[in-house]
Structure 1
Amino acid sequence: MSEQTPLARVVIAAPASGQGKTTVATGLMAALSRQPYGLDVAGFKVGPDYIDPGYHALATGHPGRNLDPWMQGEERIVPLLLHGSQHPVAARVAIIEGAMGLFDGKLGTDGYASTAHIVALTESPVILTVDISHASRTIAATVGGLAAFEEQVRINGVILNKAGSTRHADEVKRALKRLGIPVLGVLPRDEAIHVPSRHLGLVPAAERDEALAALDALAQRISDNVDLARVVKIAMTAPRLSGPAWDPAAEVHPPTHPTDSTGPGATTEPPARPRIAVAGGRAFTFRYAETTELMEAAGCEPVEFDPINDPMLPAGTAGIYLGGGFPEVHADDLSTNAPMIASMREAIAAGTPTVGECAGLLYLCREVDGHPMVGAVEASAEMTPKLTLGYVEVEGTRGHEFHRTATDPAEPAMPANVHASYLHVHWAGNPELAQEFCDAVHAYDAARPDLDHHGDTEVGEGLVDLAVNVRTPTPPAWLSEVIAATIPQLGAYPDATAAREAIAAHHGVTPDMVLPTAGAAEAFTLVARAIPGEHPVVVHPQFTEPEAALLAAGRTPHRHVLAPPFTLDVDELPETDLLLVGNPTNPTSVLHDGESLWRLAQPGRIVVIDEAFMDSVPGEHESQIDAEMDSLLVLRSLTKTWGLAGLRAGYVVGDPALIRLLAAQQPPWSVSSPALAAMVACTTDRALVESQLAVITTTRHRDHLVEALTGLGWGVVTPAEGPFVLADTHDPGMRRRLRERGFAVRRGDTFPGLGPSWVRVAVREPSVTDALVEAARV
């Protein structure tokens, strides 16, 4: 025997459109949700309409939902009704607002997808709403005809709308009395509770600033003029519903596969939930509630954003869903939000899976009524006098169209990762579409570099460390003594003056051009927070912290990804007002032409150069630290050469005006006294001599490493100038096998532009390199 579920429910129907169904249905929901009743009410709309459910949601505090046999399938109507009545809370009563006239459905059928069709499928009682403003006794004939038209439809009561006077209403009541159908209430004419129309139908609740106040007035008017107790009593006559509730988790599923089994703490847990940016706000009000529920069931995290007011897509966006709405109404506001349009363009250009339905299609076009838009779809759109309205089936997918715009061309070209059309689809009726989209989102997210992955993650007990680029595991003895000597003074707050002056003297600049930082990582965070730029560009592959810091600060950079051999052609750079580049670059070990970088820094374009590994270059001949550094910042680190990763010691040299901006964002005393003392010590003549000797040794050992790896048949990037080399092993499984044989190398696939066969290998003594080569050959 199938599961039987009790649910009090009633359908609010009418002889035709414009009779007041939305007013009455929404008013009933609002009145029953408020005191003294205080019921949890579930609101539903027959058909594909988006606008009415928006009012239902506002009235009930719960998502408004749709029941549509054409788009969802007859077999899903009762399950979806049960689901919507149980989520997010168990409702005491469901109110289903009909569509058009009671028996009006898809043209060319016997009322398929009509309100009467839903009544039959759900075995629900009907309350008829009738506009009596232009008739009196004839209303009874209309109601009588409706009541007798199909025996499966039970009209249990009537609400008279737009009564001109008490005398007028009484005349209608007397005529209805012979039918035995009770009149549950009479609503007088009242424009205060009238819902205005948009060119596609009713104005969405999200676009009516006075909507809540209007709902309060409507709820009171319904309470004053309708017998709510009898309405509930009629709803309670509905029989139990058979079968289980619709369950999104039964329709779609998240991917389950093990994570990289070579990393520490490897598990077989499902991957993290990738974010889907779901358009909302005043321009994008059309979305079925089940859409985001299916996204969640498929292991994704839908996050709403407002294309009009938000400056960028949500951080971590791995998919974009643009539903319906009125972008043509808000075209000017959408078009003038240039940062959001830039964010959309960058995300789509990067391959982010994107779906656009109707309004989403328009937003993705080049322009709408002359207003520039995203431009991912090769078309222009404009308003037309023609209303396109109706059910549509495209390649087996059922949906509906509802628009007054047209695109030129009618079938425009778009990128492979973009699917956009005028077709509105209910994913509950087409769960395979939800699965396909969410699978693409998961795949895109999994393929994206992990910007927070660093070489220390690779290191483990018993492994030879070739993943971290620190030259020595401990500082030299003389440097350790300097650091230890600060311990007695740790009770005093740090003073960076001496360090700033020592660094300035070392580089031949003025102290106001220097800012000591807690490592280069803090410097990147300060740059992201303090340095202006509407269009930041990060040159990849490079250290991922600059991009991660920008994203954490709410800024979306453009990636300029270089191809092997990873040399920078400045003429190929996109337009930018903030450029971030490494030199020599981690992980490629490529040293770019310093003069070309220097020429890029000019008014209106700030250049930030990560020179963390410049001290491994003989003579530092491409360094851009100079007495004149307008619009230029150079970041340095003491970690690599001096074994100070745990102390966090670095600094920035550059344009004094930019240094002041960084300092304004830096927390007080962020650089410790031991780190400041180390900075001073590392600028002494003794340190200079030792670092130069280290460069000679590193160069000799690097030459041996390049030759050895080349002998393996690996594609080594040359010339290499840093204390590491980058190589394509041509074998995605090589890193894992090396790990199994006791060697940790830095994975390459977390750097944008590199794949799983790439590895970065730190320069070590020739004996260590030779052992690595033997392990790779096994």
Structure 2
Amino acid sequence: MVTPARGDSGVVGTHRLPRLVVSAPASGHGKTTVATGLMAALRRAGHVVSGHKVGPDYIDPGFHALATGRPGRNLDAHLVGEGALVPLLLHGAATPEPAEIAVIEGVMGLYDGAIGREGFASTAHVAAVLRAPIVLVVDISSASRTIAAVVHGLASFDRSVRLAGVILNKAGSPRHAGEVADALEATGVPVLGVLARDDGISAPSRHLGLVPAAELDRARSVVDRLADQITQRVDLAEVVRIAQRAPDLVAEPWSPHAALAASGWAEPAGVEGERPVVAIAGGRAFTFRYPETEELLAAAGLMPMTFDPLTDERLPDGTAGLYLGGGFPEVHAAGLVENRSLLADVAAAVTAGLPTVAECAGLLYLAETLDGTAMVGAVPTAAAMSPRLTLGYRTAVAPVDTVLAAAGTRVTGHEFHRTATTPVAGADPAWLVAGRPIGWSVRFPPGGEPVPLASLHASYLHLHWAGSPQVAARFATAVHDFAGRRWSSVSAEVHRAVPEAAAMAPAIGTADVDLRHHGDAEIETGMLDLAVNVRVPTPPPWLRDRITATVTDLGAYPVRTAAVTALAARHRRPADEVLPTSGGAEAFTLLARAARDVVRSAVIVHPQFTEPEAALRAAGVPVQRLLLEAVDGFRFHAERLDPDADLIVLGNPTNPTGTLHRADVIAALLRPGRLVVVDEAFMDAVADEPESLAERRLTGLVVLRSLTKTWGLAGLRAGYALGDPTWIAAMAAQQPPWSVSSPALAAIEACSTAEATVEATAAAHRFSRDREMLVRGLGELGLTVAGTPATPFVLVDTAGLRPATAAPGWLREQLRGRGFAVRRGDTFPGLGPDWIRIAVRDAATSRRLLAAIAAVQDRGAVDRSVMPPTTAARAAAPAATSD
């Protein structure tokens, strides 16, 4: 296991890191699929795996991250220098936790590097620097004994290169593979495994290579299939032994703090305690960036926050800098343009002087048009697809002072695009490459107040900031400066819009609502249930069969081994990080009992499921409430937390608001001595679970999951906890023996299979469509749905439809009189009686509800004079009755 780097200067000395490099004779032999499969299979076998890629490639590390559960990292001698390869390897393998083995995927053919530089930056060169053994992947589909000659040539071409084994790919038959293996015996290079031609281990591609993992709805199933095939057909034990034979490394792990210090960085004076936000584009359209970029920004006192230009309606609160990396905006242009709210927000921010770096895809996003489609328009250029692929490393020089570099700064970057742009008048070049201008440095506002330097840096050139930490320091300085100017000039306006007491201080409350109230209390015989959030009234047939089969064994005490194993495999965790529970309620009780002697101050982020607060209060744990606000869609603001809180509980997505919070923001709450509990009871009902922390192995993190909602198991009680093994053990110590029944354990095991995951994902996508129809219909009736719900329920503010003479909660009572049960909002801290939570059902059921609301309006029960004009107009319009 690698020794973790600590402090600003890392740990100098000897580091033990088992490792290997996956290479091939040439591109197309299956390096990516085999390397990714190895990572996933090793992780499934219980190893903590760190994934790395030789070269500048962004797409392969995305699959590596999916396979390992941690960031994929690049090792590029061109971009960071030969001397930084080992430090970056050690850093990546130690972050966020020490890895037990590192798998490094090569680039092109084994000896292919920079032309004219005798293999510099080739896989063989990097493997030699890392002192790592090489596993060769060879496509044998068109040859047999000749493969042995190829392997022998690769092994003998450079005697300093150690080929430790070979994996044969695309074998036509066992006889074919045997012929190759027999011939290879003479080379002394052992065969570690054979993959058949029809094993189907491949990933889809497009005009710039593989499709990024973030863009594939089935990416997880692709990686799972790779893991299955590698586990079955490759000798993993021997692979581990090869990696363990790699010699120790003597080096200082790379540190973002040390890199900044070496560049001359000095954090400017700012507002004490503030960490200016740098908004970083992510999601399907922006998948290309190096993790070290965000680490350098964080080390410079900034708060990197990822946003999705396809779905987020505005930049993160407090944004003082913007980083738009690479990706495929040309593929997602239609979706980007549909998000008009964000386009306008970005345009306003950039043209107001927000420090902005736009690399390649970011440049296209900021352009006026992309293939004729109107984009942000901050850079007055037109971009379009080109028949010519531009690809290669570049040495660039800053011709003038920019937000990213001082004049004369020399950097190494790379270009990789198939688009072209038109010239921009009146802007300085971003870079000069062999005297040729690339990109633009744009000053805003044009003709307005003078600013220190151009605030927008946009070009096709990708940089690895670990190789040029001075650009990180330069950009961070600009962000801090902008934040200081913004805070001093607009703080009064912000405080007028959001009162300081409400915006910044945690709301401390007592048990002033019925914390034990549940949606089933709303239901009476004959009522249509829109109050309880269970997807189906009974489990699907295959699950019923599994549960029923346990009846004959009820004379024996429950055995949880199979359920634990299934959960560990499902979430890629060791068994000691998994605890089956009798539903979410038991999990919160166990947690509260485990915390009562060690937690001094707990914060519950409300509105949310009330059982955590009830359990903590029952255990005697002091509880504060942080109340989120409807005005911004119940978004979570970490800066409002009590900094002394050592337990934080947050639902994600939150019940009842439906808000899906950002995983990186939640993970950033972790610190020594603090426990962060994330209630993911509804995460399996969110399509593709984009913000789940269930597979993040972080100290101090516990994630609670429920099978009740998706699988119709409310009466059975089945759930589980995942996370920090110390806390999982503490919860287990509070759990009564055999508290989880045999039927529940069988259900947990069955719902953890790949097939069940696929079914749940399909159901989540159906829910998404049904929810959109319901939200649209409610809006047309003048009802306000909170935020952008991601759940199989929506939270609705009905105050706008309440007549002046009616009591709060009037519409809920009107619906009850018409046979519709919805969940009352005033049973959640922070909500009043005019809030209701409505479960998403099929379109026909939602149309019945909408018709009932419309009938209330048609009877004249609504006093439209008390509504805002736009709401009154919608309420007067005919109700939508179709989707």
TM over 0.5: yes
1:432 aligns with 2:446: no
Amino acid at match of 1:70: H
Question: 1:156 matched to which residue of 2?
Answer: 164
Change (3 A) 1:76 1:259: closer
Cα distance in 1 between the residues matched to 2:220 and 2:268: 47
On the 8 A contact 1:378/1:414 being kept in 2, the answer is no
Question: 2:559 matched to which residue of 1?
Answer: none
Change (3 A) 1:453 1:411: closer
1:312 to 308, 311, 314: 314
Question: 1:399 matched to which residue of 2?
Answer: 413
On the 8 A contact 2:278/2:305 being kept in 1, the answer is yes
**SS of the residue aligned with 2:463?**
coil
Change (3 A) 1:401 1:452: closer
2:94 to 86, 89, 105: 86
Measured after TM superposition, the shift of residue 257 of structure 1 is: 5.6
Question: 1:348 matched to which residue of 2?
Answer: 350
Change (3 A) 1:361 1:434: same
Cα distance in 2 between the residues matched to 1:370 and 1:317: 29
1:421 aligns with 2:468: no
Deviations 1:664-694 (A, max 9, x none): 99xxxxxxxxxxxxxxxxxxxxxxxxxxxxx
Measured after TM superposition, the shift of residue 191 of structure 1 is: 5.9
1:372 aligns with 2:391: no
Question: 2:481 matched to which residue of 1?
Answer: 443
Measured after TM superposition, the shift of residue 251 of structure 1 is: 1.4
Change (3 A) 1:94 1:527: closer
1:20 aligns with 2:34: no
Measured after TM superposition, the shift of residue 662 of structure 1 is: 11
1:40 aligns with 2:42: no
Question: 2:867 matched to which residue of 1?
Answer: 660
1:212 to 220, 233, 238: 220
Cα distance in 2 between the residues matched to 1:314 and 1:346: 14
Change (3 A) 1:209 1:258: closer
On the 8 A contact 1:192/1:214 being kept in 2, the answer is no
Change (3 A) 1:92 1:367: same
Amino acid at match of 2:234: V
Change (3 A) 1:147 1:397: same
**SS of the residue aligned with 2:867?**
helix
Question: 2:876 matched to which residue of 1?
Answer: none
Cα distance in 1 between the residues matched to 2:120 and 2:210: 24
Measured after TM superposition, the shift of residue 411 of structure 1 is: 4.8
**SS of the residue aligned with 1:272?**
coil
**SS of the residue aligned with 1:379?**
strand
**SS of the residue aligned with 1:235?**
helix
1:194 aligns with 2:196: no
Measured after TM superposition, the shift of residue 394 of structure 1 is: 0.6
Cα distance in 2 between the residues matched to 1:302 and 1:350: 20
Measured after TM superposition, the shift of residue 200 of structure 1 is: 0.6
On the 8 A contact 2:268/2:480 being kept in 1, the answer is no
Deviations 1:546-597 (A, max 9, x none): xxxxxxx99xxxxxxxxxxxxxxxxxxxxxxxxxxxxxxxxxxxxxxxxxxx
- What is the aligned-residue RMSD (CA, Å)? 2.7
1:89-238 residue pairs with structure 2 within 5 A? 89-190=97-198, 192-238=200-246
Measured after TM superposition, the shift of residue 657 of structure 1 is: 6.6
Deviations 1:310-340 (A, max 9, x none): 1111111100000000001111111221111
Measured after TM superposition, the shift of residue 658 of structure 1 is: 8.4
On the 8 A contact 1:255/1:299 being kept in 2, the answer is no
On the 8 A contact 1:10/1:94 being kept in 2, the answer is yes
1:258-657 residue pairs with structure 2 within 5 A? 271-395=273-397, 396-409=410-423, 411=439, 414-415=442-443, 416-450=454-488
Cα distance in 1 between the residues matched to 2:282 and 2:98: 26
Deviations 1:280-332 (A, max 9, x none): 01000001111101110011001100111111111111000000000011111
Measured after TM superposition, the shift of residue 136 of structure 1 is: 0.6
Amino acid at match of 1:366: E
Cα distance in 2 between the residues matched to 1:450 and 1:199: 47
Paired positions, count:
463
Cα distance in 2 between the residues matched to 1:175 and 1:241: 35
Question: 1:630 matched to which residue of 2?
Answer: none
Measured after TM superposition, the shift of residue 57 of structure 1 is: 0.1
1:6 to 13, 16, 21: 16
Cα distance in 1 between the residues matched to 2:230 and 2:186: 25
- Gaps in structure 1 of 5+ consecutive residues: 261-269, 458-524, 531-552, 555-655, 666-778
Cα distance in 1 between the residues matched to 2:230 and 2:631: 55
1:41-56 residue pairs with structure 2 within 5 A? 41-56=49-64
Measured after TM superposition, the shift of residue 397 of structure 1 is: 0.8
Cα distance in 1 between the residues matched to 2:202 and 2:303: 37
**SS of the residue aligned with 1:10?**
strand
Amino acid at match of 1:660: M
- Gaps in structure 2 of 5+ consecutive residues: 1-10, 398-409, 424-437, 444-453, 496-627, 634-658, 661-862, 873-883
Cα distance in 2 between the residues matched to 1:296 and 1:67: 21
Measured after TM superposition, the shift of residue 450 of structure 1 is: 4.7
Cα distance in 1 between the residues matched to 2:209 and 2:83: 29
Larger C-alpha radius of gyration, 1 or 2? 1
Amino acid at match of 1:401: E
Change (3 A) 1:39 1:280: same
Change (3 A) 1:664 1:50: same
On the 8 A contact 1:305/1:313 being kept in 2, the answer is yes
Cα distance in 2 between the residues matched to 1:135 and 1:58: 33
1:699-714 residue pairs with structure 2 within 5 A? none
On the 8 A contact 1:31/1:220 being kept in 2, the answer is yes
Measured after TM superposition, the shift of residue 435 of structure 1 is: 0.7
Amino acid at match of 1:163: A
Change (3 A) 1:447 1:235: same
Measured after TM superposition, the shift of residue 526 of structure 1 is: 11
**SS of the residue aligned with 2:487?**
coil
On the 8 A contact 1:378/1:412 being kept in 2, the answer is no
On the 8 A contact 2:39/2:64 being kept in 1, the answer is yes
Measured after TM superposition, the shift of residue 451 of structure 1 is: 7.5
% same residue: 55
Change (3 A) 1:663 1:194: closer
Cα distance in 1 between the residues matched to 2:185 and 2:471: 51
Cα distance in 1 between the residues matched to 2:865 and 2:61: 52
